Chain A
């Protein structure tokens, strides 16, 4: 898919909460031995998806230099909305100063909700309906105690402010979306934790959709994996993105800068957007970045970005690495307290 008007990223922001739970601590608790990631990010007592989205959005606006009153849309993709009914996006838009001439909504598509919000913003800017639009992926993902997801379900996010390509830090060359009804993961209303299909989440779900979207976008653009300096894939654990990169023909060198799941966990709707932010933190003008998200249910959004000269001036403030290195480990009981699972 290509836009009528050239679109790019005017500014981006990312955030990872300070607290970490090691996989070893989960193993200590349950007498298990899993290690799909080394550790995962955990919210503070006063953080949730809205506060994470605001952190990301504020950094994106600050870096872009755009007058927030000109931002015509703020969409938050998440599967951990603090309210069942009340948009998160209104709060984000109010904090950054985008209200009242703005469209907001919350998007849900499991781990793909963030890139779904980004696609919508690209459409708005690419059609000329808005000059600037912000898509955010943020989550405080839920993992049931003793479930495999407890190791990985993490907290964090990233925000992308889209605007005219000629003033952007990275231009969108093309995108592609690939969706089927594949029920590999879900959460029913009023349930605290999601259910998943264990190994069913692999081949027919994650790998099929990422390779489906990735191959289609490569075919549509005529690019080969070697044409890209960097690549980012959805990161539900440390292993899947490495395997899917190999399946599509990308190397470890290409995915390393954006591979944050081993030390952050799976930030769900924030996952591939956070990986893209970590990649933009080190990218140089002219670099091409290949990105594919994945959301259970299921689908993938694939993007080709070309980094532009303004990147050098518009990545001030804390990098993704800064947030990753700012960490404090918590034990299992403290983790449960931070997640609101122990209430005095």
Chain B
């Protein structure tokens, strides 16, 4: 990811900031230019930080930049506010992942741009610590 793109996406990725349609209230993450209702007016929306795992897969052959994290879990998560989000799930072994598992936001390093480039951070999810 280029430095300007990373910088533009910092707030959504750091703070789990999505958008809410000003007309119908539909919530989006990531943001979309046009709502399903046709509206193009949105306001910032802070997503819920807890949710349940709906489905998942284990990545063993990772794309460039993610090889050192394999095997890792990528899951579809339904947040407590109903928004669905795709995210890595960390601090859990792939064989221990279960549908319905309660997960929460965690701030982690997503990838590194080589040895000298930017460290890129953002949200992931993990089993709830209580």
Q: Which residue of A lies closest to B91 (CB)?
A: A18
A343 within 8 A of B: yes
B60 in contact (CB, < 8 A): no
User: Inside 8 A of B69's CB, which chain A residues have their CB?
Assistant: 45-46
Asked whether A46 and B130 contact (CB < 8 A) given A51-B121, A82-B119, A83-B119, the answer is no
Which residues of chain A in 14-67 are interfacial with respect to chain B, using CB atoms and an 8 Å cutoff?
A: 18, 44-48, 50-51, 54-55, 58
Q: What CA separation (Å) do A58 and B16 show in the bound complex?
A: 13
| B107 and A55 contacting across the interface, CB-CB below 8 Å | yes
Alpha-carbon distance A163/B27, docked complex (angstroms):
35
Q: For the complex, what is the distance from the CA of A54 to the CA of B13, rounded to whole Å?
A: 13
> Could you say which residues of chain B place their CB within 8 Å of the CB of A54?
107, 121
**Once the chains are docked, how many angstroms separate the CA of A344 from the CA of B129?**
31
Are A94 and B11 interface neighbours, CB within 8 A? yes
Contact A46 B110 (CB under 8 A): yes
| Contact A318 B67, beta carbon cutoff 8 Å | no
Range, interface on chain B: 10 to 19
Query: Chain A interface mostly helix, strand, loop or mixed?
Result: loop
Residues in B neighbouring A46, C-beta threshold 8 A: 69, 90, 108-110, 124
- Would you give the 0/1 interface string for B1-39, flagging 1 where the beta carbon is closer than 8 Å to chain A? 000000000110011000000000000000000000000
- Cβ of A95 to closest chain B Cβ, rounded Å: 4
For residues 89 through 130 of chain B, which have their beta carbon under 8 Å from a beta carbon of chain A? 90-91, 106-110, 119, 121, 124, 129-130
Closest to B124 in A: A46
Bound-state Cα–Cα, A344 to B67, Å: 9
Measured CA separation A289–B119 after assembly (Å): 38
Q: How far is the CA of A46 from the CA of B107 in the complex (A)?
A: 9
Q: Do residues B68 and A343 form an inter-chain contact, with CB atoms below 8 A?
A: yes
Measured in the bound complex, the distance between the Cα atoms of B14 and A287 in whole Å is 37
User: What chain A residues lie within 8 Å of B11 (beta carbons)?
Assistant: 94
Residue ID in chain A nearest B126 by CB atoms: A18
Nearest CB of A to B124, in Å: 7
User: Is A97 part of the contact surface with B, judged by Cβ < 8 Å?
Assistant: yes
Q: Given A51-B121, A94-B10, A344-B68: A44 and B90 within 8 A (CB)? A: yes
Partner pick for A51 among B15, B68, B108, B129, CB 8 A cutoff = B108
Is the CB–CB distance between A97 and B15 below 8 Å?
yes
Is A51 within 8 A of B90, CB to CB?
Answer: no
Which residues of B lie under 8 Å from residue A317 when comparing CB positions? 130
In the complex, whether A323 has a CB less than 8 A from a CB of chain B is yes
A343 to B112 Cα, complex, angstroms:
13
Min CB–CB distance B116 → chain A (angstroms): 10
B14 x A94 contact (CB < 8 A): yes
Tell yes or no: A326 within 8 A of B by CB: yes
Query: Hey, which chain A residues are within 8 Å of B124, CB to CB?
Result: 46
Closest Cβ of chain B to A73, distance in Å, is 19
Q: How far is the CA of A58 from the CA of B129 in the complex (A)?
A: 14
Contact A95 B119 (CB under 8 A): no
Chain A residues in 8 Å Cβ range of B108: 44, 46-47, 51
Chain A neighbourhood of B109, CB < 8 A: 46-48, 50-51
Chain A, residue nearest B46 (CB): A97
C-alpha gap A95/B11 in the complex (Å): 7
Contacting pair A45 B119 (CB below 8 A): no
Q: Which residues of A contact B (CB under 8 A)?
A: 18, 44-48, 50-51, 54-55, 58, 82-83, 91, 94-95, 97, 317-318, 322-323, 326, 343-344
CB<8 Å pairs between A and B, sample of 20: A44-B90, A45-B68, A46-B90, A46-B109, A46-B110, A47-B108, A50-B109, A50-B119, A51-B107, A51-B109, A82-B119, A83-B119, A91-B14, A94-B14, A95-B14, A95-B107, A317-B130, A318-B129, A323-B129, A344-B68
The 7 closest A-B pairs by CB, nearest first: A54-B107, A46-B108, A95-B14, A46-B109, A318-B129, A18-B91, A45-B69
